[in-house]
């Protein structure tokens, strides 16, 4: 691959709270590789990504003067490589060409991510009026949205009807009565329960109709004059057993047959989410063949990937605001408590509800910049616990991490793989900000062209 540097090669820096689209700024541009005519990668694009992220982190930190910046001027911030989102999309199309991705907006509703995915032809899985509004505000057709929430507020159903968002899910009788009253022409998908016992975040404990209830629900929908066009399921988030998808597809086939017996013309299968970055090929290797085995080509198949697209694209940097020494009363050894200006009530909320285990790394110490530095064999490390800024004792990012002992107040730490369920679920607890700046870079020319077009 050949790499080009345009103008000053500075990353585009935008505040996500004030900007809706990436634009060229004087003296700044993307740095992007020029691909050798195909979508296969040899690893060099990752080096480009790391270089861009490193440059963006350094520039942002160098712009902060803690001695005279405004209050909050040294807040935590993100660097997002939109090229990584682009690569994940190509990876999806290569491994699951039949299945259309409908991005789960709840995972990360970042406007640039949504814009890029829209330009790539993705659909969108929305779970609320606000998420639907966000997608529609970007001039995306309502036909590219599925309202994938089986228990909806009546007013939200009316809103979906008014905006032409026809596809929505249900899993209970009361939802059918609401749909008959407020949106009788909706195109409904029956969400079924799955075996999600091997998922980190189980969803069938809350949503999904058991198989022994699907026939009666379909019969009720028929009696109410509603149109059931398909079936949806979700095997749980972070599943570590790809075969869970096979069982779910088999169950969906059974419900399709039940619908056919009642006269429903079902032509849409939603295979949900749960796709991990690290085991995606393993999932695709069983899901794709299962879909082809049980469903003919005239059945449209969609999915709801979220973290798959964005987790690896975002890095967060946080400032060390305090340090406390702790001496073990038994062995006399010292460890340290580090306090950051971000925590579980901020961008690390996934520690509490999403089984996330963020890994801290030293970004700066004094005048040194350590992004991407590998720990040397035999290098001395010190035990730290990492804490957020609020007054709550539960605000702990990591109870045990090992870092070089050089970490001081005023240094910065960084955390990779922070694109999923982070910024979107931050709060203002204790008066801290829930809106952190995002610095965008792009390591793929295709993505840059789509965003600048």
**What one-character-per-residue DSSP string does 58-98 give?**
HHHHHT--TTTSPTTTT--EEEEEHHHHHHHHHHHHHH-TT
Indicate the DSSP class of residue 106: G
How many domains does the structure of the chain reveal?
Answer: 2
Q: Compute the distance between CA of residue 281 and CA of residue 288 in angstroms, rounded to an integer.
A: 10
Torsion 338-343-344-347 (CA) sign: negative
Same domain, 131 and 67: no
Q: What is the pLDDT of residue 33?
A: 36
- CA-closest candidate to residue 372, choices 58, 61, 63: 58
8 pLDDT higher than 60:
no
**Encoding tokens for residue 192?**
């079924």
- pLDDT above 90 covers a percentage of the chain that reads 64
**What one-character-per-residue DSSP string does 193-207 give?**
----TTEEE--TTTS
Mean pLDDT of 273-291: 92
Same domain, 13 and 141: no
**Encoding tokens for residue 230?**
């398909």
Same domain, 182 and 263: yes
107 as an active site residue: the answer is: no
Q: Which residue has the tokens 């995306």?
A: 140
Decide if 186 is inside a domain. Answer: yes
Q: How confident is the model at residue 115 (pLDDT cuts 50, 70, 90)?
A: very high
Which one of the listed residues 107, 201, 391, 442 is annotated catalytic? Answer: 391
Decide if 172 is inside a domain. Answer: yes
Indicate the DSSP class of residue 242: T
Q: What is the tally of helices (H) and strands (E) in the chain?
A: 12, 22
Same domain, 288 and 346: no
Decide if 39 is inside a domain. Answer: no
| Helix residue spans in 322-383 (DSSP H) | 350-353
Same domain, 111 and 224: yes
**Of residues 446 and 374, which shows the higher confidence score?**
446
Indicate the DSSP class of residue 141: -
Mean pLDDT of 389-397: 89
Q: What is the pLDDT of residue 312?
A: 96
Percent of residues in the chain assigned helix, strand, coil, to nearest 5: 35, 25, 45
238 pLDDT higher than 70:
no
Residue 3, domain CATH: 2.40.37.10
Mean pLDDT of 37-43: 45
Indicate the DSSP class of residue 10: P
122-168, pLDDT tens digit by residue? 999 999 999 999 999 999 999 999 999 999 999 999 999 999 999 99
Q: Compute the distance between CA of residue 375 and CA of residue 380 in angstroms, rounded to an integer.
A: 9
Same domain, 365 and 441: yes
In which element (H, E) is residue 246 found? helix 243-261
Decide if 91 is inside a domain. Answer: yes
Q: How confident is the model at residue 206 (pLDDT cuts 50, 70, 90)?
A: low
187 pLDDT higher than 80:
yes
Among 310, 338, 356, where does a domain finish?
A: 310
Q: Compute the distance between CA of residue 237 and CA of residue 350 in angstroms, rounded to an integer.
A: 13
- CA-closest candidate to residue 386, choices 353, 411, 354: 411
CB 337 within 8 A of CB 388: no
Q: How confident is the model at residue 204 (pLDDT cuts 50, 70, 90)?
A: low
Q: Which residue has the tokens 């929908």?
A: 221
Which of 8-12, 238-242, 365-369 is least confident? Answer: 8-12
Decide if 168 is inside a domain. Answer: yes
Burial environment of residue 200 by CB neighbours within 10 A (0 to 12, 13 to 18, 19 or more): middle
Same domain, 294 and 317: no
In sequence order, the 6+-apart residues with CB closer than 8 A to the CB of 180 are 224, 225, 226
Strand 382-387 with 368-369, pairing = unpaired
Q: How confident is the model at residue 3 (pLDDT cuts 50, 70, 90)?
A: very low
CB 79 within 8 A of CB 315: yes
Same domain, 163 and 291: yes
In which element (H, E) is residue 170 found? strand 167-170
In which element (H, E) is residue 303 found? strand 300-303
12 pLDDT higher than 50:
no
Same domain, 11 and 157: no
Q: Compute the distance between CA of residue 405 and CA of residue 83 in angstroms, rounded to an integer.
A: 34
The residue range of the domain holding 192 is 83-310
Mean pLDDT of 74-99: 97
Q: What is the pLDDT of residue 197?
A: 59
65-84, pLDDT tens digit by residue? 888 888 778 899 999 999 99
Q: What is the pLDDT of residue 335?
A: 87
**Encoding tokens for residue 272?**
């949900």
Q: What is the pLDDT of residue 198?
A: 61
Same domain, 116 and 5: no
For residue 12, what are the β-bridge partners?
440
Decide if 347 is inside a domain. Answer: yes
Report the predicted TM-score, pTM, of the whole model to 2 decimal places. Answer: 0.88
Indicate the DSSP class of residue 27: T
Among 245, 278, 310, where does a domain finish?
A: 310
- pLDDT above 70 covers a percentage of the chain that reads 86
Same domain, 74 and 89: no
300 pLDDT higher than 70:
yes
**Encoding tokens for residue 15?**
């505040």
For residue 191, what are the β-bridge partners?
232
3-state SS of 370-412 is CCCCCCCCCCCCEEEEEECCCCCCCCEEEEEEEECCCCCCCCE
Residue 186, domain CATH: 3.20.20.10
303-345, pLDDT tens digit by residue? 999 999 999 999 999 999 999 999 888 888 888 999 999 888 8
What are φ and ψ of residue 101, in 5° steps?
A: -80, 130
Decide if 453 is inside a domain. Answer: no
Q: Which residue has the tokens 């993705």?
A: 122
**Encoding tokens for residue 90?**
């190509």
Same domain, 70 and 129: no
Decide if 233 is inside a domain. Answer: yes
Among 274, 291, 310, where does a domain finish?
A: 310
């Amino acid at each position: 691959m050949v790499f080009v540097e345009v103008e000053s090669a500075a990353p585009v820096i935008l505040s996500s709270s004030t900007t809706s689209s990436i634009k060229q700024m004087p003296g700044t541009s993307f740095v992007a590789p020029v691909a050798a005519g195909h979508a296969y990668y040899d690893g060099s694009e990752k080096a480009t990504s790391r270089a861009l992220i490193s440059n963006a982190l350094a520039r942002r930190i160098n712009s902060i003067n803690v001695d005279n910046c405004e209050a909050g001027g040294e807040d935590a911030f993100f660097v997002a490589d939109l090229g990584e989102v682009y690569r994940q999309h190509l990876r999806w199309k290569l491994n699951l060409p039949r299945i259309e991705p409908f991005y789960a907006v709840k995972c990360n509703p970042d406007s640039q991510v949504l814009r890029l995915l829209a330009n790539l032809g993705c659909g969108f899985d929305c779970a609320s009026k606000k998420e639907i509004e966000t997608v529609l505000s970007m001039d995306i057709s309502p036909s590219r949205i599925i309202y994938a929430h089986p228990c909806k507020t009546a007013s939200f159903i009316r809103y979906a009807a008014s905006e032409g968002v026809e596809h929505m899910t249900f899993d209970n009788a009361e939802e059918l009565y609401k749909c008959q009253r407020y949106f009788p022409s909706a195109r409904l998908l029956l969400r079924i329960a799955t075996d999600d016992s091997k998922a980190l975040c189980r969803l069938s404990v809350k949503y999904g109709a058991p198989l022994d209830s699907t026939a009666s629900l379909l019969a009720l929908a028929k009696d109410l004059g509603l149109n059931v066009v398909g079936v949806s399921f979700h095997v749980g988030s972070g599943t570590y057993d790809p075969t869970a998808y096979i069982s779910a597809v088999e169950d969906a086939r059974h419900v399709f047959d039940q619908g056919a017996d009642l006269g429903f013309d079902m032509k849409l299968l939603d295979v949900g989410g749960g796709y991990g970055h690290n085991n995606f090929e393993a999932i695709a290797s069983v899901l794709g063949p299962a879909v082809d085995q049980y469903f003919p080509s005239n059945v449209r198949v969609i999915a709801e990937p979220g973290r798959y697209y964005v987790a690896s694209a975002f890095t967060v940097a946080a400032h060390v605001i305090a340090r406390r020494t702790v001496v073990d009363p038994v062995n006399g050894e010292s460890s340290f408590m580090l306090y950051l200006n971000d925590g579980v009530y901020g961008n690390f909320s996934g520690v509490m509800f999403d089984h996330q285990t963020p890994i801290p790394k030293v970004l700066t110490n004094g005048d040194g910049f350590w992004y991407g530095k590998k720990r040397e064999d035999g290098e001395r490390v010190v035990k730290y616990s990492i804490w957020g800024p609020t007054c709550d004792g539960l605000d702990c990012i990591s109870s045990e991490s090992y870092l070089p002992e050089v970490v001081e107040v005023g240094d910065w730490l960084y955390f990779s793989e922070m694109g999923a369920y982070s910024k979107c679920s931050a709060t203002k607890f204790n008066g801290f900000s829930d809106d952190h700046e995002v610095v965008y870079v792009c390591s793929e020319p295709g993505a840059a062209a789509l965003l600048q077009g």
